[in-house]
């Protein structure tokens, strides 16, 4: 039978986050809860009825808690196939069926990220938990396995269906369980085999929880992490993008930028840092939530007060005034980083097709003399400044990309689109959605216009000037479209693809 209802659950977790809600729901549905050790104590402290594992096994937890659930009366109830032979054996040995196993493993990876104390690491190697996960996953035909607290949302979906799971749900959770097991074992193997080179920082997980990850390098050489939670893989990717972006703005007047998923979503230059922050945030206050912030000047108290209400992951700055730092540190999870200096990268390397791709970094910084006018209408000084600003923004957006800038402020962006015209449309619509009028703005494209459609869209929005690399066989059509509509256009001769 594909659909199975949960009747009995075994709960054994290290991280108790969200456990109470799950356990209360199980109890309310009449599902028997088995548990032991710290999990049992946690549930009993919440007045949630629990059957102790020791009451099933008639054997106490021994060896300082190293052996609790490793017993035939536990694993028999998980691994038993629901056929006459196996069920008969369970009855004979008085072994209860278990059809839900909820585990969250000892935090070996997290501990490895914090210490190299061997004895402490060895004690964080989970044996019973990983065995429960693998046993339940093997028997997914009949058993639901929840291999970490991150899967509680999936379990809640099953419970909402009267605790009935489909075979496909159980199969997917089993696959997830073996992924968790693989990542966990890989971290242990890497440590015990001595495969962690100097400068290797294990991370909790990679881009997603089922991926293992580590950072190889010397973060402290260029950055000083002042406070906050442990840096994640995604934090490091975003920080790298933020530092790369600021390399094009760090020598100028006060500049503030906001990034999300490695793309700049707000950036502005103003006379002081507080005003720059306000203008950068206005570019996309929705995306700024949970974002990465970076600026090119020390954070003063006034700027800190303006930033403080926002939830953000990381703030990077050349420095922090004492009052500013004390205020921002009151949110314990915030990561505050002092930039010692911008990192210098001689090469960019990424894996590809059973090997590596290596290239020089894109360090081209556009200057006024790089802009070659190609239309009758010429951009004035203010528009040229905005064009250069827009080029430096679009350079750091995923292709295909368009940036709209007005008054040294990013007011709209389109990125990661499979067609340039879609990126153009997205940038214009984004500006309008954020309350900006694109009329009189400067537009930059990181690659040439293959057709005049982007110029036509820009003209309808009132864009005053456009910068693009040029080099298309249809350049003449785009230039003619700009001339017909009174738009100033300049070619740079430099493409800024980013994949």
Find all residues with CB under 8 Å of 230, minimum gap 6, and list them.
110, 113, 114, 203, 204
Q: Helix 167-192 vs helix 152-160: angle between axes, to the nearest 10 degrees?
A: 160
Indicate which residue of 7, 71, 73, 138 is catalytic: 138
The token pair that represents 70 in the structure block? 């490793």
Contact criterion met (CB below 8 Å) for 432 and 454:
no
Between CA 323 and CA 161 the distance in angstroms is: 52
Indicate which residue of 73, 210, 250, 261 is catalytic: 261
Q: Which residues pair with 144 in a beta bridge?
A: 100
Q: Closest Cα partner for 468 from 379, 394, 364, 382?
A: 394
Alpha helices for 283-419 (secondary structure H): 285-288, 301-307, 322-328, 381-394
Rounded to whole angstroms, the maximal C-alpha distance in the chain is 94
Sign of dihedral through CA atoms 247, 250, 252, 256? positive
Between CA 300 and CA 150 the distance in angstroms is: 38
Alpha helices for 58-127 (secondary structure H): 72-79, 84-92, 108-112, 118-123
Tokens 């990309």 -> residue: 401
Q: What DSSP character marks residue 95?
A: -
Catalytic annotation on 460?
A: no
What's the CA dihedral at 477, 479, 483, 485 to 10 degrees?
70
Between CA 181 and CA 183 the distance in angstroms is: 6
Q: Helix 167-192 vs helix 128-138: angle between axes, to the nearest 10 degrees?
A: 150
Catalytic annotation on 251?
A: no
Could you give the count of Cα atoms lying within 13 Å of 395 in the half-sphere of its Cβ? 25
CB-neighbour burial class of residue 207 (10 A; exposed 0-12, middle 13-18, buried 19+): exposed
**C-alpha separations of 436 from 17, 308, 427, 440 in Å:** 42, 25, 11, 11
The token pair that represents 367 in the structure block? 């200057």
Between CA 375 and CA 440 the distance in angstroms is: 17
Run of H or E including 369: none
Between CA 354 and CA 143 the distance in angstroms is: 38
Q: How many residues does the chain have?
A: 499
Q: Closest Cα partner for 319 from 341, 302, 334, 352?
A: 341
Between CA 77 and CA 136 the distance in angstroms is: 10
The residues carrying an active-site annotation are 138, 261
């Amino acid at each position: 039978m594909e659909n199975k209802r949960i009747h009995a659950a075994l709960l054994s977790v290290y991280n108790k986050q969200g456990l109470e809600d799950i356990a209360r729901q199980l109890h309310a549905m009449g599902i028997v809860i088995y548990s032991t050790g710290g999990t049992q104590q946690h549930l009993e402290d919440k007045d949630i009825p629990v059957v102790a594992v020791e009451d099933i096994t008639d054997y106490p937890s021994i060896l300082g808690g190293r052996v609790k659930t490793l017993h035939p009366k536990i694993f028999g109830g998980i691994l038993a196939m629901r056929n006459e032979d196996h069920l008969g054996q369970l009855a004979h040995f008085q072994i209860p069926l278990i059809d839900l196993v909820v585990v969250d493993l000892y935090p070996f990876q997290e501990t490895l990220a914090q210490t190299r104390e061997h004895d402490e690491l060895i004690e964080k190697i989970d044996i019973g938990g990983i065995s429960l996960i693998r046993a339940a996953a093997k028997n997914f035909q009949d058993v639901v396995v929840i291999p970490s607290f991150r899967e509680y949302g999936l379990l809640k979906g099953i419970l909402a269906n009267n605790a009935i799971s489909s075979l496909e749900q159980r199969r997917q959770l089993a696959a997830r369980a073996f992924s968790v097991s693989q990542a966990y074992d890989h971290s242990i193997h890497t440590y015990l085999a001595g495969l962690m080179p100097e400068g290797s920082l294990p991370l909790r997980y990679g881009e997603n929880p089922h991926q293992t990850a580590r950072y190889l390098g010397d973060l402290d050489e260029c950055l000083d992490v002042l406070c906050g939670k442990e840096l994640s893989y995604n934090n490091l990717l975003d920080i790298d993008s933020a530092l790369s972006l600021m390399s094009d703005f760090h020598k100028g007047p006060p500049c503030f930028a906001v990034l999300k998923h490695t793309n700049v979503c707000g950036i502005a230059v103003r006379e002081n840092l507080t005003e720059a922050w306000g203008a950068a945030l206005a570019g996309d206050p929705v995306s700024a939530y949970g974002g990465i912030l970076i600026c090119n000047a020390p954070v003063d108290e006034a700027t800190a007060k303006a930033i403080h209400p926002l939830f953000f992951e990381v703030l990077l700055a050349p420095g922090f005034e004492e009052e500013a730092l004390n205020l921002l540190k009151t949110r314990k999870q915030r990561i505050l980083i002092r930039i010692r200096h911008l990192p210098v990268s001689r090469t960019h390397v990424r894996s590809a097709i059973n090997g590596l791709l290596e290239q020089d970094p894109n360090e081209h910084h556009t200057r006024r003399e790089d802009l070659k006018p190609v239309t009758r209408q010429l951009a004035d000084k203010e528009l040229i400044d905005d064009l250069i600003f827009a080029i430096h923004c679009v350079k750091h957006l995923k292709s295909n990309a368009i940036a709209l800038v007005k008054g040294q402020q990013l007011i709209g962006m389109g990125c990661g689109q499979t067609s340039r015209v879609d990126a153009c449309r997205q940038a214009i619509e984004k500006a309008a959605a954020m309350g900006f009028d694109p009329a009189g703005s400067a537009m930059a494209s990181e690659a040439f216009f293959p057709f005049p459609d982007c110029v036509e869209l820009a003209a309808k929005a009132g864009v005053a000037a456009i910068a693009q690399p040029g080099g298309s066989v249809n350049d003449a059509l785009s230039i003619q479209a700009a001339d017909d509509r009174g738009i100033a256009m300049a070619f740079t001769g430099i493409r800024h693809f980013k994949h």
